A and B are shown apart, each in its own frame.
Chain A
Amino acid sequence: MVRVFSLSVFYKGATEARLLKTTSDLQSFPFFQRGTVNEFMTFASRTIVERTQPALRQSVKQDAYMCHVYVRADNLAGVLIADHEYPQRVAHTLITKILDDFTAKVAAGLWPNASESQIPFDALPAFLQRYQDPKEADPLLKMQSDLDETKIILKNTIEAVLKRGENLEDMVNKSEQLSMQSKAFYKTAKKTNSCCSFA
């Protein structure tokens, strides 16, 4: 299945990543899991942005999902979560395009402090819908032909992105962004090995 689940833009501050804008399409998940899946996608996106050096691209595989991250040298970061079959080259090209559009619309002064609702950028849902079909990105690929795919760092799990001494389970437990319900969900899902084992 070729599918994009979520798109988000972060600002990577000195200590933590700030979410500037996000959108997601979770129709393919069971109804009652969508809220939790959404929280976990944001959690995973933030975690990976915080652990990616500026001016670096990473693609992190987790189960059937792929989390593509690009942190620009000016600390603006884009994350695209897709199915593992979504072409990596297209994903990174899209992130570049989104960050370019974002920079053109939103003044850099807003990035470190503004809240999500104050950011005047509403193009993400349209992006998400349009590029469900990677063919749509053909013109973009031609325009940004300088993307060097060999420089994208590939990781096989989120664990592989974490710093030494960090542990995903502890992070889930400590996280303030995840609701109690999602944490319980994560534990149960992990135990029963249900289809929703994101993060």
Chain B
Amino acid sequence: MEDEINVEFNNEKKVLCEKIIRDINAVFLKDADLNSFEIIPKETNCNKSPVVHVEHNLGLESWCARHVYDHAHRTLISHRRQTTQQQLRTLQQQQQSDALAKYLNVALLINPDVTTFWHIRRQLVQKNRLSINKELQFSALVLSMKPKSNEAFAYRRWLYSFQSADAIDWPHEISICERAADRCASNYHAWSHRQWVLQNAPCLLQSELMRTEKFIRKHISDYSSYHYRQVLLSRAYELGYHVADEQLSSLRDLLAEYQLAADPNVDVDEALLQLLLPNHDRSSVSAPRLRSFLYCCNVAASDVRLCVEQRALYGQRECFELHRRAVLKFIVEQCVRLLLYLPPVSVAASGGSQLNELLPQFDCESHPFLVAVRRAETAQGEKHKRWCHIHLNFGKERSQDA
């Protein structure tokens, strides 16, 4: 008798789960612009449908999430265990993949961390049973639920491998990264996905320089965003990026702070180059490379100022200090590389000689800019001095002091 009740109860539950899964997929079919998914905390069943759909947002009440997930999970795993022949026998293929997709959608939305399910999706895409556009949309939906889902980002990269780079809507991809990074601080997966986008779409440099500045102004303690900006800067320099008619005022201000006055008798570019690269044989380096050098150093100099301003507004933060060091190191490094007639470092290829390996080959004393940097930076406390000693090779002066 008890068994019978149990069986009946289980059947009822199964029917209910099936209905909820059908409801969710009905929303998928109906709304092509679905924007977000979330689990709504609600402990009791109020005898209403737990699937809520308002203004392109989809919600599932939490009381049923576990049961629905269990049901979808069990169905998918038992399908996975069947041999191909059995699968063929059970259903027509198209019908079958539709049914599978239904369970996959629900299971992955509730729990995006199951690699097996993402693989089943990949197989269905390869058999042309799922459309790539729909899949991109679905993975974006998963990211609205879990912004740190590496599986979802990896899946997007995999999907894009079937499309040519010109056909991809890169700005849209950036906005997905930005939304995920905004929702979760230190979102490693979102920022590395964004680096991947940057590698593939160099046309975004300009807008990225603007967007990241806006982002770090708002997310003052999220060092991931600062780090991305450093990568971006190196990438811009590597590609020889510059903007025509840039006034370079930040760089001039920075040099003025170091008490280096630009020669007023020549034009701005020339005066700055004289200060940064004295005794440098210009003919060995192309003019666009030098313009990019000035442009990128100017961005770095404006970041130095940004960090100082932010510190005045928000007080001491580790991020401000670290980013200031990183961009300062960028300026010094690019000066030294040019003076040694070395090409810029590639962002993608790691290795190559590090700055602190290069500096010993180089006589800093004869270089007014490096001497000025050394003088100003070593005055900023013991800890900062130690950092300069290791990374900017200021050791020589230290030993002289001692």
Contacts and interface: CB of A to CB of B under 8 A. Distances in A.
- Do A and B interact? yes
17 contacts: A2-B217, A28-B183, A31-B36, A31-B59, A32-B57, A33-B40, A85-B314, A87-B314, A87-B315, A134-B313, A181-B42, A184-B41, A184-B43, A188-B41, A188-B42, A188-B62, A192-B62
B369 to A, nearest CB: 31
Contacts of B52: 32
B313 A185 contact: no
A184 B55 CA distance: 23
Given A87-B313, A87-B314, A133-B217, A30 B38 contact: yes
Given A184-B41, A188-B43, A31 B57 contact: yes
Given A32-B52, A188-B41, 17 more contacts: A1-B218, A1-B219, A1-B220, A1-B222, A2-B314, A28-B182, A30-B36, A30-B38, A31-B38, A31-B54, A32-B38, A32-B54, A33-B40, A85-B220, A87-B315, A185-B41, A192-B41
Contacts of B315: 87
A132 to B, nearest CB: 8
Contacts, number: 55
Interface string A1-16: 1110000000000000
Contact of B42 (A1, A30, A184): A184
Interface of B: 36, 38, 40-44, 52, 54-55, 57, 59, 62, 182-183, 185, 217-222, 313-315
A188 B41 CA distance: 6
Interface of A: 1-3, 28, 30-33, 85, 87, 133-135, 181, 184-185, 187-189, 192, 194
B182 A135 contact: no
A31 B221 CA distance: 25
Contacts of B43: 184, 187-188
Closest 9 CB pairs of A and B: A188-B41, A31-B57, A32-B59, A30-B38, A32-B40, A1-B219, A185-B41, A189-B41, A2-B218
A3 to B, nearest CB: 7
Chain B interface main SS type: mixed
B221 A85 contact: yes
A135 B217 CA distance: 10
Contacts of A85: 220-221, 314
Given A32-B57, A32-B59, A2 B41 contact: no
Binding site of A, secondary structure by majority: helix, strand, loop or mixed? helix
Nearest to A192: B41
A10 B77 CA distance: 57
A187 B182 CA distance: 26
Contacts of B182: 1, 28
Contacts of B313: 87, 134-135
A185 B182 CA distance: 24
A32 to B, nearest CB: 4
Nearest to A185: B41
B185 to A, nearest CB: 7
Nearest to A89: B313
A82 B202 CA distance: 37
A92 B62 CA distance: 39
Contacts of B218: 1-3
A28 B183 CA distance: 7
B181 to A, nearest CB: 10
A32 B41 CA distance: 10
Most B C-beta atoms less than 10 A away, residue of A1, A31, A188, A189: A31
Contacts of A87: 313-315
A194 B41 contact: yes
A88 to B, nearest CB: 10
A187 B42 CA distance: 9
Contacts of A32: 38, 40, 52, 54, 57, 59
B314 to A, nearest CB: 6
A38 to B, nearest CB: 15
Contacts of B219: 1-2
Contacts of A192: 41, 62
B309 to A, nearest CB: 8
